Amino acid sequence: MIVVSENRRLGIEKILKKHPETEVILMDDGFQHRWVKAGMYILLNNYENPIYSDYLIPMGKLRESKSAIKRANVIITTKCVEISPTEKKGIISTLNTFASQKNYFSSIVYQNWESVFTGKEIDTPNNYNITLATSVANADNLKHHLQKNGNKITHLSFPDHHNFTTKDIENILSEYNSSISDKNIILTTEKDKVKLLKYKKHFEGVELYFSPIKINIHNSEEFKNEIINYVTKHKRKC
C-alpha cells in the first residue's frame, strides 16, 4: 500500500488506524522528519556529489549539518561508476562513520528502452538521433551512457519535478521533427514517463521511449539480510 501525506506523523497515524494489521512502514525522504522517530535510517550519499564535499542550503544541497551522518544506521553511496575496493575504503574513511554503521555502494544499470505507450523494447540502443526530454535533478549519467553507445543527443532539460505543459510537448515534438534521421526517437526517464502519459494524442505516430533503470547494490545479499533481520526483529506486533 502506498500513502501520500505532507504530514508524515498524521499519515502514519491514519495508516495504523485504517490498517491496524500493518507491521512495517517504509518512509521515503524521512531523515529530517523529527516528529517521526524511525527504527532504522538509511542515508544516501551521492558518489558524484558526496555529503562531505557539499554545503548546507543555500550554498549547497544539505538540509542539515554533515554531523547528522552519525544518525544513520546504513549509508549507501549511490551512482558509483567503476569503483575499486581502495576507493570504497577511502569514501568510508572520509564519511567517518562508526563501526556500528553499515556502508554499502550502488550503481545504476540501464535497461532496454521501452515504448511509453506499447511496452515495445529496443534491445540495441545504438546510433540513434535522440531528443532527450527530462525533468530530473541531474541527467548527466544518462547522457554519458547514451553518448557512449554512439547516440547523438539533443537534451531538453526541464526543472526537477516539472509538470509538462502542452507548450513543452510542442517544443519537444518540434525538436524531434527537425531531424530527418531514420533512427529518430524521443527518449525520457522512467520518472518522467508517468507525466507524459496524459499527452498520448500529441505523441501519436511518434517514437516515444523511456529508459528504465535498475539499482545494483554491491554486496546485495548482505544488504537484504541487514534489512530482513532488522524487520524480523522489530516488526510491529498487531
Give pLDDT, residue 137.
86
What's the sign of the alpha-carbon dihedral 230, 232, 234, 238?
A: positive
Work out the average pLDDT over 33-58: 90
pLDDT at residue 121 tops 90: yes
Give pLDDT, residue 3.
85
Report the CATH superfamily, name and number, of domain 112-211: Response regulator (3.40.50.2300)
Interatomic CA distance for residues 222 and 148, integer angstroms: 32
In the sheet that 74-78 helps form, which strands lie side by side, from edge to edge? 42-46, 74-78, 102-110, 213-217
**pLDDT band for position 214 (cuts 50, 70, 90):** very high
Query: Which pTM does this prediction carry?
Result: 0.85
Work out the average pLDDT over 163-172: 96
Interatomic CA distance for residues 220 and 187, integer angstroms: 30
Give pLDDT, residue 182.
87
pLDDT at residue 125 tops 90: no
pLDDT at residue 236 tops 70: no
Domain ranges of the chain: 112-211
Are 231 and 224 contacting, i.e. CB atoms less than 8 angstroms apart? no
Judging by DSSP bridges, how do beta strands 113-115 and 208-211 pair with one another? antiparallel
